[in-house]
A and B are shown apart, each in its own frame.
Chain A
Amino acid sequence: DGGITQSPKYLFRKEGQNVTLSCEQNLNHDAMYWYRQDPGQGLRLIYYSQIVNDFQKGDIAEGYSVSREKKESFPLTVTSAQKNPTAFYLCASSRGTGATNEKLFFGSGTQLSVL
Protein backbone atom coordinates (compact mmCIF):
# COMPACT_ATOMS: atom_id res chain seq x y z
CA ASP A 1 0.00 0.00 0.00
CA GLY A 2 1.20 3.49 -0.79
CA GLY A 3 1.63 5.97 1.99
CA ILE A 4 3.89 7.98 4.25
CA THR A 5 5.84 6.35 7.04
CA GLN A 6 7.20 8.32 9.97
CA SER A 7 9.52 6.85 12.54
CA PRO A 8 9.92 6.54 15.39
CA LYS A 9 6.45 7.08 16.85
CA TYR A 10 7.96 8.33 20.12
CA LEU A 11 11.36 9.96 20.56
CA PHE A 12 13.15 11.38 23.57
CA ARG A 13 15.88 14.00 23.41
CA LYS A 14 18.47 14.85 25.99
CA GLU A 15 19.74 18.39 26.53
CA GLY A 16 22.21 19.45 23.84
CA GLN A 17 21.44 16.47 21.62
CA ASN A 18 20.46 16.49 17.95
CA VAL A 19 17.78 14.02 16.92
CA THR A 20 16.53 13.04 13.48
CA LEU A 21 12.95 12.18 12.56
CA SER A 22 12.44 9.97 9.55
CA CYS A 23 9.83 10.46 6.82
CA GLU A 24 9.54 8.14 3.83
CA GLN A 25 6.86 8.09 1.12
CA ASN A 26 6.22 5.64 -1.71
CA LEU A 27 3.56 7.74 -3.42
CA ASN A 28 6.01 9.18 -5.97
CA HIS A 29 5.09 12.67 -4.73
CA ASP A 30 7.27 15.62 -5.63
CA ALA A 31 6.49 17.85 -2.65
CA MET A 32 7.11 17.06 1.02
CA TYR A 33 6.49 19.05 4.19
CA TRP A 34 7.24 19.09 7.90
CA TYR A 35 4.72 20.53 10.35
CA ARG A 36 4.92 21.01 14.08
CA GLN A 37 1.73 20.60 16.13
CA ASP A 38 1.34 22.07 19.60
CA PRO A 39 -1.87 21.92 21.64
CA GLY A 40 -4.16 24.82 20.78
CA GLN A 41 -1.85 26.12 18.05
CA GLY A 42 -2.72 23.99 15.10
CA LEU A 43 -0.07 23.10 12.54
CA ARG A 44 2.91 25.32 11.77
CA LEU A 45 5.14 24.78 8.76
CA ILE A 46 8.82 24.07 9.51
CA TYR A 47 10.33 23.23 6.11
CA TYR A 48 9.09 22.16 2.71
CA SER A 49 10.61 20.72 -0.43
CA GLN A 50 9.20 20.85 -3.92
CA ILE A 51 11.90 18.78 -5.60
CA VAL A 52 14.93 16.65 -4.81
CA ASN A 53 17.97 18.58 -3.55
CA ASP A 54 15.92 21.69 -2.90
CA PHE A 55 14.02 22.88 0.18
CA GLN A 56 12.73 26.12 1.71
CA LYS A 57 12.17 27.41 5.22
CA GLY A 58 8.66 27.59 6.54
CA ASP A 59 7.32 29.80 9.31
CA ILE A 60 9.30 28.27 12.21
CA ALA A 61 12.52 26.87 10.70
CA GLU A 62 14.91 28.08 13.42
CA GLY A 63 16.52 25.18 15.29
CA TYR A 64 15.66 22.65 12.58
CA SER A 65 17.38 21.32 9.47
CA VAL A 66 16.31 19.04 6.61
CA SER A 67 17.71 17.28 3.56
CA ARG A 68 16.13 15.96 0.39
CA GLU A 69 18.68 13.68 -1.25
CA LYS A 70 16.05 11.26 -2.52
CA LYS A 71 12.54 11.88 -3.77
CA GLU A 72 11.01 9.49 -1.26
CA SER A 73 12.83 10.71 1.85
CA PHE A 74 12.70 14.00 3.80
CA PRO A 75 14.33 13.63 7.24
CA LEU A 76 14.03 16.38 9.84
CA THR A 77 16.81 17.07 12.36
CA VAL A 78 15.89 18.85 15.57
CA THR A 79 19.09 20.53 16.68
CA SER A 80 20.23 21.59 20.13
CA ALA A 81 19.43 25.17 19.06
CA GLN A 82 15.73 24.35 19.26
CA LYS A 83 15.00 25.25 22.89
CA ASN A 84 11.43 24.01 23.03
CA PRO A 85 11.32 20.87 20.90
CA THR A 86 8.54 19.01 22.69
CA ALA A 87 5.73 18.67 20.14
CA PHE A 88 4.01 16.32 17.73
CA TYR A 89 5.74 16.39 14.33
CA LEU A 90 3.86 15.60 11.15
CA CYS A 91 5.30 14.88 7.73
CA ALA A 92 3.16 15.30 4.63
CA SER A 93 3.48 15.00 0.87
CA SER A 94 1.55 16.04 -2.21
CA ARG A 95 1.59 15.06 -5.85
CA GLY A 96 2.67 18.45 -7.07
CA THR A 97 2.99 22.03 -6.03
CA GLY A 98 1.25 25.20 -6.94
CA ALA A 99 -2.10 24.75 -8.61
CA THR A 100 -1.90 20.97 -8.30
CA ASN A 101 -1.14 21.07 -4.60
CA GLU A 102 -4.67 20.40 -3.48
CA LYS A 103 -4.38 17.46 -1.12
CA LEU A 104 -1.82 16.59 1.47
CA PHE A 105 -1.17 13.02 2.59
CA PHE A 106 0.03 12.81 6.18
CA GLY A 107 2.12 10.36 8.13
CA SER A 108 1.01 9.21 11.57
CA GLY A 109 3.40 11.55 13.36
CA THR A 110 6.30 11.47 15.82
CA GLN A 111 5.91 12.67 19.40
CA LEU A 112 9.17 14.25 20.55
CA SER A 113 9.79 14.86 24.24
CA VAL A 114 12.72 16.28 26.18
CA LEU A 115 14.22 14.22 28.99
Chain B
Amino acid sequence: GDSVTQMEGPVTLSEEAFLTINCTYTATGYPSLFWYVQYPGEGLQLLLKATKADDKGSNKGFEATYRKETTSFHLEKGSVQVSDSAVYFCALVSGGGADGLTFGKGTHLIIQP
Protein backbone atom coordinates (compact mmCIF):
# COMPACT_ATOMS: atom_id res chain seq x y z
CA GLY B 1 0.00 0.00 0.00
CA ASP B 2 0.88 3.66 -0.10
CA SER B 3 3.19 5.07 2.55
CA VAL B 4 5.02 8.28 3.43
CA THR B 5 8.21 8.49 5.47
CA GLN B 6 9.37 11.72 7.06
CA MET B 7 12.45 12.57 9.07
CA GLU B 8 12.02 12.18 12.80
CA GLY B 9 11.64 15.26 14.95
CA PRO B 10 11.79 17.49 16.73
CA VAL B 11 13.94 19.61 14.47
CA THR B 12 15.33 22.64 16.30
CA LEU B 13 16.84 25.56 14.36
CA SER B 14 17.81 29.14 15.03
CA GLU B 15 15.92 31.96 13.36
CA GLU B 16 17.10 32.67 9.78
CA ALA B 17 18.59 29.18 9.39
CA PHE B 18 18.01 27.06 6.28
CA LEU B 19 15.38 24.36 6.64
CA THR B 20 15.08 20.95 5.01
CA ILE B 21 12.52 18.35 6.07
CA ASN B 22 12.94 15.10 4.16
CA CYS B 23 9.98 13.16 2.77
CA THR B 24 10.00 10.01 0.67
CA TYR B 25 7.04 7.98 -0.50
CA THR B 26 5.88 4.65 -1.85
CA ALA B 27 2.80 4.66 -4.05
CA THR B 28 1.14 3.03 -7.01
CA GLY B 29 0.96 5.03 -10.19
CA TYR B 30 1.65 8.74 -10.12
CA PRO B 31 0.57 10.31 -6.85
CA SER B 32 -0.10 13.93 -6.05
CA LEU B 33 2.08 15.16 -3.18
CA PHE B 34 1.34 17.64 -0.42
CA TRP B 35 2.79 19.39 2.58
CA TYR B 36 0.38 20.31 5.38
CA VAL B 37 1.18 22.41 8.46
CA GLN B 38 -0.41 22.17 11.91
CA TYR B 39 -0.11 24.93 14.50
CA PRO B 40 -0.68 24.05 18.18
CA GLY B 41 -4.26 23.05 18.99
CA GLU B 42 -5.44 23.47 15.41
CA GLY B 43 -6.30 21.37 12.39
CA LEU B 44 -4.05 20.98 9.36
CA GLN B 45 -3.71 23.56 6.61
CA LEU B 46 -2.45 22.90 3.12
CA LEU B 47 0.98 24.51 2.68
CA LEU B 48 1.83 23.48 -0.88
CA LYS B 49 1.32 20.71 -3.40
CA ALA B 50 2.67 19.20 -6.62
CA THR B 51 0.70 16.99 -8.95
CA LYS B 52 3.30 15.65 -11.39
CA ALA B 53 6.99 14.88 -11.67
CA ASP B 54 9.36 17.88 -11.59
CA ASP B 55 6.59 20.23 -10.42
CA LYS B 56 7.65 22.65 -7.69
CA GLY B 57 5.09 23.68 -5.09
CA SER B 58 5.72 26.91 -3.20
CA ASN B 59 4.00 29.05 -0.60
CA LYS B 60 5.07 31.48 2.16
CA GLY B 61 8.76 30.98 1.30
CA PHE B 62 8.52 27.18 1.48
CA GLU B 63 9.29 25.04 -1.56
CA ALA B 64 9.21 21.35 -2.47
CA THR B 65 9.99 19.63 -5.77
CA TYR B 66 8.35 16.39 -6.89
CA ARG B 67 11.25 14.03 -7.66
CA LYS B 68 9.94 10.87 -9.28
CA GLU B 69 13.38 9.29 -9.71
CA THR B 70 14.08 9.46 -5.98
CA THR B 71 10.41 9.27 -4.87
CA SER B 72 10.97 12.34 -2.73
CA PHE B 73 9.26 15.63 -1.90
CA HIS B 74 11.58 17.42 0.52
CA LEU B 75 10.38 20.67 2.10
CA GLU B 76 12.81 23.62 2.13
CA LYS B 77 12.88 27.23 3.29
CA GLY B 78 15.81 29.58 2.99
CA SER B 79 15.34 31.55 6.21
CA VAL B 80 12.98 30.33 8.93
CA GLN B 81 11.16 32.49 11.45
CA VAL B 82 9.88 31.78 14.95
CA SER B 83 6.34 31.82 13.51
CA ASP B 84 7.23 28.77 11.37
CA SER B 85 7.29 26.61 14.51
CA ALA B 86 4.66 23.91 13.90
CA VAL B 87 4.24 20.27 12.90
CA TYR B 88 4.69 19.57 9.19
CA PHE B 89 3.07 16.59 7.45
CA CYS B 90 3.98 15.17 4.08
CA ALA B 91 1.08 13.42 2.34
CA LEU B 92 0.05 11.82 -0.94
CA VAL B 93 -3.02 10.74 -2.84
CA SER B 94 -2.80 8.10 -5.54
CA GLY B 95 -4.99 5.90 -7.67
CA GLY B 96 -8.67 6.53 -7.06
CA GLY B 97 -7.92 8.48 -3.92
CA ALA B 98 -11.43 7.90 -2.62
CA ASP B 99 -10.19 7.22 0.91
CA GLY B 100 -8.38 10.51 1.20
CA LEU B 101 -4.71 11.22 1.77
CA THR B 102 -1.96 9.05 3.21
CA PHE B 103 0.04 11.04 5.76
CA GLY B 104 3.52 10.77 7.17
CA LYS B 105 3.96 10.84 10.94
CA GLY B 106 4.75 14.54 11.01
CA THR B 107 7.89 16.50 11.87
CA HIS B 108 7.83 18.94 14.77
CA LEU B 109 9.80 22.07 13.89
CA ILE B 110 11.00 24.39 16.66
CA ILE B 111 12.56 27.74 15.74
CA GLN B 112 14.47 29.54 18.46
CA PRO B 113 14.97 33.32 18.38
Contacts and interface: CB of A to CB of B under 8 A. Distances in A.
Given A43-B89, A94-B100, A99-B97, A108 B105 contact: no
A97 B98 contact: yes
B100 A107 contact: no
Given A40-B105, A104-B44, A108-B41, A45 B99 contact: yes
Categorize the interface residue count of chain A: 20 to 34
A74 interface: no
Chain B, interface SS category: loop
B24 interface: no
A42 B108 CA distance: 11
Interface string A29-43: 001010100001111
Nearest to B98: A97
A58 B99 contact: yes
B26 interface: no
B89 A103 contact: no
Contacts of B100: 31, 33, 45, 48, 92, 94, 101, 104
B113 interface: no
A111 to B, nearest CB: 8
A64 interface: no
A112 to B, nearest CB: 14
Contacts of A103: 34, 46, 49
Interface in B89-113: 89, 93, 96-101, 103-106
Interface-central residue, B34, B44, B89, B96, by most chain A CB under 10 Å:
B44
Interface of B: 32, 34, 36, 41-46, 49, 51, 89, 93, 96-101, 103-106
6 contacts: A35-B103, A50-B98, A56-B99, A101-B93, A102-B97, A104-B100
Given A45-B100, A104-B36, A104-B44, 11 more contacts: A35-B103, A40-B105, A42-B103, A42-B106, A45-B99, A50-B98, A98-B98, A103-B34, A103-B46, A106-B44, A108-B42
The 6 A-B pairs of least Cβ separation, nearest first, read A106-B43, A42-B105, A101-B97, A43-B103, A97-B98, A106-B44
